Structure 1
Amino acid sequence: MEIGIIGTGNMGRILIEALLDGKAVSSSSMIITNRTLIKAIAIQENYPDLCITQHIEEIGKRADLIFICVKPHDVYDVTRRLKPFLTKDKCVISITSPISVNQLESVLPCSVARVIPSITNRALTGVSLLTYGKNCEEQWKSRIKEVMGHISRPLEIKDEITRVASDIVSCGPAFYSYLTQRFIQAAVHETQIDQETATILASEMLIGLGELLRNGFYTLPTLQEKVCVKGGITGEGIKVLENEIGDMFEQLFQATHLKFEDDLAIVRGQYIK
């Protein structure tokens, strides 16, 4: 099977490198392209057998499984250019949440799916979100799950929870990275600890927290209970969080959903003919 990747921006590159490092596909079986070829060439420097093409149409001809990793408003143009070269036995995947599988099926003659990856997949961990088109062949459903299983825990989701699931899985690392940076900055500002030491401690704490959860030693509530001894220092910190966080996370989800609606409105007209 030959895999094609269209778009080598942040998530496109992460997907390419994860699939290759995770042995989901060999570099000689992958063909990539990007509007600015210098980005694709930079990836090829680390994977010499990787094939680069200037033409989206070439990927349509050669690849069996094609990932479209471009901005939402550019997906329609990519599908239009691919369509003449797609046969029923191929499969096309979009990795952007505003483009639904129904929209892809309305313009493409092959199996389609949506796969929303996460930056955590670069470390061959985390979750990838899968939604299949109604006419997606069963063999492709199995193949996609197998491919993504090399770099993540694939999880099939319903269309109506796409945004919130993506907020948690795909946007979540950025949100918690920001919170951790603020945590570190406050420690440096309020105490004598230096930035480098605080960053090392916070980073290792997050890694350890993840391993505790991964290995099932604790759930999030039981972990808090173990650390938060009655009348202790941690409890005083928890009180501050309870008083100050308020509805911050509710507002976060409201904001992402409003932006999502804007993105949906932009692409909706492209698929209404």
Structure 2
Amino acid sequence: MDKNKKIAIIGCGNLGLSIVNGLLSTSGFDGKNLTVTKRHPESLFYLQSQGVKVLADNKEAVKEADFVILGVKPYNIKPVLQEIRPFLTKDKQVIASLAAGVTIERIKNELETGTTVFRVMPNIAADIKESVTCICGENFTTESEEVVKSIFNCVGISITIEEHLMEAATVLGACGTAFVLRFMRAMTQGGIQIGFDAKTANKIVNQTVKGAAELIIQKGIHPEAAIDKVTTPKGSTIKGLNEMEHHGFSSAMVRGVVASYEDIRK
């Protein structure tokens, strides 16, 4: 990414802070090019030691920004856009919204015609530069798309999708983090029941899940292909898998994903 791009994060909550941490840990990124805002910014003042400008004034934050990330809640998008609109220049700033369920059309309605707008959905793993960020935009140029992707590539990987898939992306990429963590907790509980102390069980589960994910990523294989490599005839692995399936493991996971999707579309 262009290390001289000035970035403003409006409404820097947990997700915004994850992006901040990812950017600050990127080689060559200068904290002086980052401004963050919060209604009560005291909890962010520690970032000032890394050059980050911390403000309560959204209007002041966007004046010099090239890229504006809206980290506010969906119900605050309209008033915040109305507040900062007089200080935006359509040919200068690129706007990216993190607000789930708020369409590009709704955002554009509050801005000057021609302003470049994106919706982006990273997840909390941005904090350790392992997020998957789904991006969509409307009438954007290749250059503006690259600007967006370069910023969010600093905190993981980014994928450009069509807007009608953004809610689905939120479920798989953001809600999905919690789904995986709940699976890990259950696996740890099982480990405790068969004899491990909680700390050891947790350590084994963490590395097992990490290893499984890296196996799929690095080998580029389907999960079922990897499963076939560890299931032997009459073995304990297939017995455990079949027992889980008898109790609806895969079905429960699919139903959970669909339930979250239906809720987010309301």
TM-score when scaled to structure 2? 0.91
Cα offsets for 1:234-271 (capped at 9, x unmatched): 01001112111263123213321232133xxxxxxxxx
Q: Which residue matches 1:165?
A: 169
- Aligned-residue Cα RMSD (Å) equals 1.7
Verify: 1:81 aligned to 2:86, yes or no. no
Letter in 2 for 1:191: I
Q: Give, in angstroms, the shift of residue 86 of structure 1.
A: 0.6
* Distance change >3 Å, CA 23–CA 114, structure 1 → 2: farther
Give the C-alpha shift of residue 24 in structure 1: 7.4
Question: Who is 2:127 aligned against?
Answer: 122
Distance 1:119 1:155 in 2: 16
Matched letter for residue 105 of structure 2 = N
Partner SS for 1:107: coil
- Do residues 214 (structure 1) and 217 (structure 2) align? yes
Amino acid at match of 2:148: I
Conserved in 2, the CA contact under 8 Å of 1:24 and 1:150? no
Q: Call closer, same or farther: CA 1:256–1:6 in 2, change over 3 Å.
A: same
Counterpart check, 1:182 vs 2:186: yes
In the TM superposition, residue 55 of structure 1 has moved relative to its aligned partner by 0.3
How far, CA to CA, are the matches of 2:183 and 2:70 in structure 1? 31
Gaps of 5+ in 1: 263-273
C-alpha distance in structure 2 between counterparts of 1:126 and 1:32, whole Å: 20
CA–CA separation in structure 1 for the residues paired with 2:162 and 2:143: 20
Superposed CA offset, 1:163-186 (max 9, x none): 222211112111110111011112
Give the Cα separation in 1 of the matches to 2:254 and 2:203.
Answer: 30
Do the aligned partners of 2:167 and 2:265 also contact (CA within 8 Å) in 1? Answer: no
The alpha-carbon distance between structure 1 residues 137 and 58, as it changes in their structure 2 partners (threshold 3 A), is: farther
For 1:229, the equivalent position in structure 2 comes to: 232
Change in 2 beyond 3 A, CA 1:165/1:24? farther
Q: Conserved in 2, the CA contact under 8 Å of 1:19 and 1:25?
A: yes
Aligned to 1:105: 108
Matched to 2:191, the amino acid is A
Q: Deviations over 1:203-249 (max 9, x none)?
A: 11112112212211643111100011121000100111211126312
| 3-state SS, counterpart of residue 109 of structure 2 | helix
Letter in structure 2 aligned against 1:233: S
CA contact (8 A) 1:24 1:147 kept: no
Shift of 1:121: 2.4
Q: Which runs of 5+ in 2 are unaligned?
A: none
CA distance in structure 2 between the partners assigned to 1:164 and 1:217 by the alignment: 23
Query: Is 1:132 aligned to residue 134 of structure 2?
Result: no
SS in 1 for 2:51: coil
Q: Which residue does the alignment assign to 1:31?
A: 35
Q: Which runs of 4+ in 1 moved over 3 A?
A: none
**1:105/1:133 contact within 8 Å kept:** no
The corresponding residue for 2:53 is 51
1:256-271 correspondence runs (5 A): 256-262=260-266
Whole-angstrom distance in 2 between the partners of 1:150 and 1:227: 35
**Cα 1:242–1:97, aligned 2, differ >3 Å: closer, same or farther?**
same
Q: Which amino acid aligns with 1:74?
A: N
- The structure-2 alpha-carbon separation of the partners of 1:139 and 1:208, relative to structure 1 and needing over 3 Å to count, comes to same
Q: Secondary structure at the match of 2:260?
A: helix
- 1:253 and 2:236 aligned: no
The SS at the match of 2:171 is helix
Query: What TM-score do the two structures reach when normalised by structure 1?
Result: 0.89
| Count of residue pairs brought into register by the alignment | 258
Structure 2 CA distance, aligned partners of 1:102 and 1:231?
Answer: 56
Task: Look up the SS of the partner of 1:215 in the other structure.
Answer: helix
Separation of aligned partners in 1, 2:107 and 2:79: 12
Residue deviations 1:15-66, cap 9 Å, x none?
Answer: 111122124742010111111212221443xx53111122000112121100
* Secondary structure, aligned partner of 1:193: coil
